[in-house]
Amino acid sequence: MNQVLRLSIVLLFVVSVLLPGVANAQEAGKPVNELGIKARAGLLMDTTTGQVLYNFNERERIQPASLAKIMTFEIVLEALEDGTLKRDTKVPISEDAWRLALNNTLSNMFLQVGDMVSVDALLRGLMVSSGNDAALALAEYLGGSEQGFVNKMNERAKELGLKDTVFRNSHGLSAPDQYTTAYDMAILARHIVLAHPEALKITSLKEFEH
C-alpha cells in the first residue's frame, strides 16, 4: 500500500471511526450521510496534499470525546522533541488519575495511585487504550496541573489554525463549552503525521501490555 493511501486511511480512522462513539451516544447511531457512516460528521483528507477527498458536516461543532487525546498526544510529542520530556521520564500517578482508572465505564490504562510510569508507557496507554487516566497523568506532569496543560492545548489549537476547537480537559470527557469539528481534527491529525512521523509507531499498535 503506498504511503499516501496509508496515511489517508489514518485520517479516515481518526475522524470517521472515533466519531461514531460520539454519534452512538448522542444520535442513537443513526446514519446521517450517503455512505451510511454512523457519525455526526466526518472528513477524509490526503495527508500529503491536504486535499479533502470526502466530507460531511465537517464544520459542525461537537464534543471531542476521545479525539481530545490527539491534542494531548501532540503536546507530549512536542515536549519530547524539545527535550522537556524523555521517553523514560517517570511520571507519578495522582489520586485524580487513579480515580479515573477506577471507573469501569471509561477506557483506562488502570494506573495505580503512587505508581511511577514512563512517558513511553503512558503514550501507549493514551493512544492504544485511549486511557483517560493516562491523559490526565501526562497533563498533570507536563502542565503542572490539568488546567495548565489545557491552556497549552488551546494555545496549540490557535497556532495550528483550529478555529472551531476549545478544550476543557486532557481526555475529552464531556464538559461545558468544549467542542471541535471533524475539519479541525483532520488538520490536527495531518499535522501530527507530517511533523511527527514516528508517532505512527505508537498509533499503529493494536495492543500493549502494562
Catalytic residue among 8, 66, 94, 170: 66
Q: How far apart are CA 51 and CA 166, in angstroms?
A: 24
Task: Say whether 130 is catalytic.
Answer: yes
* Cβ atoms < 10 Å from Cβ of 111: 26
* Single-letter code of the amino acid located at 84: T
Task: Say whether 118 is catalytic.
Answer: no
Catalytic residue among 69, 94, 129, 170: 69
Q: How far apart are CA 161 and CA 66, in angstroms?
A: 20
CB 10 within 8 A of CB 47: yes
Task: Say whether 170 is catalytic.
Answer: no
Pairing of strands 52-56, 42-45: antiparallel
Catalytic residue among 94, 130, 152, 170: 130
Cα separation values, 190 from 18, 23, 145, Å: 16, 23, 28
Active-site residue set: 66, 69, 130
